[in-house]
Amino acid sequence: MKIMSDLPLQNQRVLVREDFNVPMNDQGEIINDQRLQAALPTIQTLLTHNAAIILLSHLGRPTEGVFEQKYSLRPVADYLSKILQKKVRFELNYLEGLEIQPGEIILCENVRFNLGEKKNDPVLAQKMAKLGDFFIMDAFATAHRAEASTCGIAHYLSSAAGPLLEREIKALKQVMDHPEKPLTAIVGGAKVSDKLVLLEHLVKKVKVNTLIVGGGIANTFLAALGKPVGQSLYEPALLNEAQHIMQVAQDCGCFFPLPEDVVVAETLSEHVVTQIKNIDSVCDQDRIFDIGPQTIRHLTEIIQTSKTLLWNDPVGVFEYAPFAAGTKAIASAIANTPESFHQYSVAGGGDTLSAVEQFNITQHISYLSTGGGAFLEYIQGKKLPAILAL
């Protein structure tokens, strides 16, 4: 796979697919610019080559072929102009051609307003390809989608991976293919059904030394062992699959710790009365929303003796203060691992990034992935269409 530095970009028209799918409030103001900041090194490098830069992105999930003001990228063009301190021209209609000079930057309107984008229509991809001399795919977060602007263009234009995409792949390969052991994976979330493929892949293929599960996922595994989970979220139809994964872990020599104590309540709210219970003492009316202090102590020890760490999704309902302690403890354990230990950590998934930000440990994570679905599919061992196209 070629990377951006392999291409002769000086004074050339360069088409760049970025991920500017940023959250905005009702006034159209950007409330989290993490993805914009992540793309800046790519844009700035192209400026040093005096390239004519044509930026492509999607925003939200508009009805394809229909303009919807709330999904317009115009606020992103204004925001980029400020942080780059250079005019970013916004173009509403661009498929029939663009006038642009070396050193200029254009942001094109939401690619999902174009009919055929999501179906990777070759006619649309060719129209886009005619806009530039080279194509740079830099949007890892959309690399799992075979769409005209992520995948199709690469078939009609000399293409390469951008620096952001390159960094993502290197970081994930370091964890998935060449990890320093012991390797620990933390997988949270609500449903085992969403993570079955991932959990088995981590155990059998990646060969993690320890697999920590949290959230509703952990409840299903507890129930599979015959532990009481009360009214907690779990998936009774997947108890056999949970038992199978635990058996595979045992056969592979993978340590699979489950919560020993938990934080329970009868309802989920900010001011609810909570209790800490041993897992065997959970009552019929209880709902498990977080891990308890004894479990936290054991997981902290595991995390701080791991040379490589992969974290996907929180271990409790951290958005509510009474149930934030478990996820905060995971974050603190990573942050407080001595620098001299040289732990390499990668975190990904939207809720994970929210937790990392909430508990102020961004600077302590070796690599924060910008991908949600793409991150999950990559660590499941799936081939991502946009990367295959490159």
Of 60, 103, 373, 381, the catalytic one is 373
Distance separating alpha carbons of residues 106 and 94, to the nearest angstrom: 10
Is the distance from CB of 249 to CB of 213 less than 8 angstroms?
Answer: no
350 labelled catalytic: yes
Length of the chain: 390
Order of all β-strands in the sheet with 275-278: 275-278, 261-265, 287-291
- CB-CB neighbours of 250 under 10 Å: 12
Of 74, 130, 191, 307, the catalytic one is 191
Of 13, 17, 35, 112, the catalytic one is 35
The torsion angles phi and psi of 248, rounded to 5 degrees, stand at -60, -40
- HSE at residue 112, side-chain half, CA atoms within 13 A, is 21
The torsion angles phi and psi of 320, rounded to 5 degrees, stand at -105, 125
326 labelled catalytic: no
Q: Which residues pair with 54 in a beta bridge?
A: 15, 106
215 labelled catalytic: no
Is the distance from CB of 124 to CB of 115 less than 8 angstroms?
Answer: yes
* CA 201 to chain centroid: 18
130 labelled catalytic: no
- Which residues are catalytic, by number? 35, 191, 350, 373
